[in-house]
Amino acid sequence: MSGANDSPAVAGGPRALLRAEGLVTWGAATFAFSLTGAPWWVYAALFFVPDVSFLAYLAGARAGAIAYNALHSHIGPAVLAAAGFALGMEEVLAVAAIWVAHIGFDRALGYGLKYASGFGDTHLGPVGRKAVAS
């Protein structure tokens, strides 16, 4: 079978649902951050920190995808939040909430987890120049 459905990316209604889920995640994590009592300048200062993973693309698409996915998966912030709860550290919970908010924001914009074939190839469909070309 060949054609438009060969892409490993989700499409149609499920893609829209996953993007909406990202928007809800962003909002819920931002609300959770507000409950930690941390100052909002911390949210602003740390919100885009996971995007330092872009630098790994200088070493190639495979390295870039691994680094991006490591910092844009919910595994890291879930472990961090568990540690924050276990240790009773609101500051750690605040960082975990910011991290989850960033992931939700990216997913709402259509930036999904990356494939090693290139930055524009994501589980939510093509982004950037690849999206324009398709």
The pLDDT assigned to 67 comes to 97
Looking at the chain, how many residues does it have?
Answer: 134
One-letter amino acid identity for 72?
A: H
CA proximity to 54, closest of 109, 114, 99, 134: 114
CA proximity to 47, closest of 30, 64, 66: 30
The pLDDT assigned to 4 comes to 44
For residue range 55-108, list pLDDT tens digits in order.
999 999 999 999 999 999 999 999 999 999 999 999 999 999 999 999 999 999
The pLDDT assigned to 9 comes to 85
Helix (H, G, I), strand (E, B) or coil at 114: strand
Distance CA 96, CA 98 (A): 5
The pLDDT assigned to 58 comes to 96
Domain ranges across the chain: 10-133
Helix (H, G, I), strand (E, B) or coil at 126: coil
The rounded mean pLDDT for the chain is 91
The pLDDT assigned to 49 comes to 98
